Amino acid sequence: MSEFTDKIVRVRTRPYYQSSRAQLYLGDCFHLLSRTLPESIDMIFADPPYFLSNDGITCQGGKMVSVNKASWDQGANWRQKHEFNRRWIRRCRKVLTGNGSIWISGTLHNIYSIGMALEQEGFKIINNITWQKTNPPPNLACRCFTHSTETILWAQKNDKKSKHLFHYDLMKEMNQGKQMKDVWTGSLTKPSEKTEGKHPTQKPEYLLERILLASTDENMLILDPFCGSGTTGAVALRLGRRFIGFDNVEEYLEISKKRLIKAES
Ligand SMILES: C[S@@+](CC[C@H](N)C(=O)[O-])C[C@H]1O[C@@H](n2cnc3c(N)ncnc32)[C@H](O)[C@@H]1O
């Protein structure tokens, strides 16, 4: 039995994949979060569905293509989106330790609901990070400004006793001795990070690297309830953290598994 299964059984169900420092589970994160031990996770990164697959068009590699990513990303009305966000954020709060923190990424399609849901479910927002993309796809309809940013909210439990971890000095050092600001600029995910398979909304590794270095220590346990291609897990393992990931699409968990194996080797 691995160190992970011996000492830290955090999710009471059979993993899809496990190693000594990581576990992946195939299934609905609502169910899996309810099977996770309360207050057992040090940090959560979540990149939930943005609900932007609305039959519009976008540009990819110079070609006009549908914006539709997948059925899990299809539009819902604001009530349905908000109810969805409140439910998974409520479950995340239960599994997070008292001093733990949560990072959630989104766009205008879901981030206002996420911000409100965080406050309604007992979180306090610490930062509003703007990820500025240096190479966004052009706006083909020419009816509004080119969308070139995403938002990442960072929050902690809204509880007087909660003290979130922030490696201020390290962030300053990584920013040439100046305080790190809340606008992070960089490119879309590089093809070299997609060698294990393609996911329609894969995040670049440099974002996760900064997030993990800023708010976690080595050996801490990180959970990603919508892990997709496993970006959070691959970076977590490379940085000596431990990882649990959930996704309800087996094809994506296979990519995650390959990336975790590569990161551990
Ligand atoms: C925006 S993507 C995450 C991408 C990921 N950050 C990456 O870098 O690859 C959202 C993921 O959530 C998964 N998903 C959607 N609804 C889910 C649910 N209820 N339970 C578990 N996974 C879900 C989708 O299959 C998709 O892979």
Per-residue tens of pLDDT for the chain, all 265 residues: 344 544 455 788 899 999 999 999 999 999 999 999 999 999 999 999 988 766 666 656 666 666 666 766 666 788 999 999 999 999 999 999 999 999 999 999 999 999 999 999 999 999 999 999 999 999 989 999 999 999 999 999 999 999 999 999 999 999 999 999 999 999 999 999 999 999 999 999 999 999 999 999 999 999 999 999 999 999 999 999 999 999 999 999 999 999 999 999 9
Cα angle for residues 208, 254, 28 (degrees, 5° grid): 80
Count CB neighbours of 141 within 10 A.
Answer: 8
Nearest CA to ligand 1 atom 22: 247
* Domain 3-264 CATH superfamily: Vaccinia Virus protein VP39 (3.40.50.150)
Q: Please say whether the beta carbons of 41 and 223 come within 8 A.
A: yes
Task: Decide whether any atom of ligand 1 lies within 6 Å of the 246 Cβ.
Answer: yes
Closest among 31, 42, 39, 47 to 114, alpha carbons compared: 47
Q: How far is the CA of 7 from the centre of ligand 1 (A)?
A: 28
Task: Decide whether any atom of ligand 1 lies within 6 Å of the 45 Cβ.
Answer: no
pTM of the model: 0.92
Closest among 63, 86, 87, 67 to 75, alpha carbons compared: 67
Task: Decide whether any atom of ligand 1 lies within 6 Å of the 84 Cβ.
Answer: no
Q: What is the rounded CA–CA span in Å between residue 254 and residue 197? A: 9
**What are the C-alpha distances in Å from 89 to residues 40, 41, 60, 92?**
15, 14, 32, 5
Q: What is the rounded CA–CA span in Å between residue 5 and residue 15? A: 10
The two tokens of residue 190 are 């590089």
Angle between helices 250-264 and 231-238 (to 10 degrees): 10
Domain ranges of the chain: 3-264
Task: Decide whether any atom of ligand 1 lies within 6 Å of the 189 Cβ.
Answer: no
| pLDDT for res 257 | 98
Task: Decide whether any atom of ligand 1 lies within 6 Å of the 162 Cβ.
Answer: no
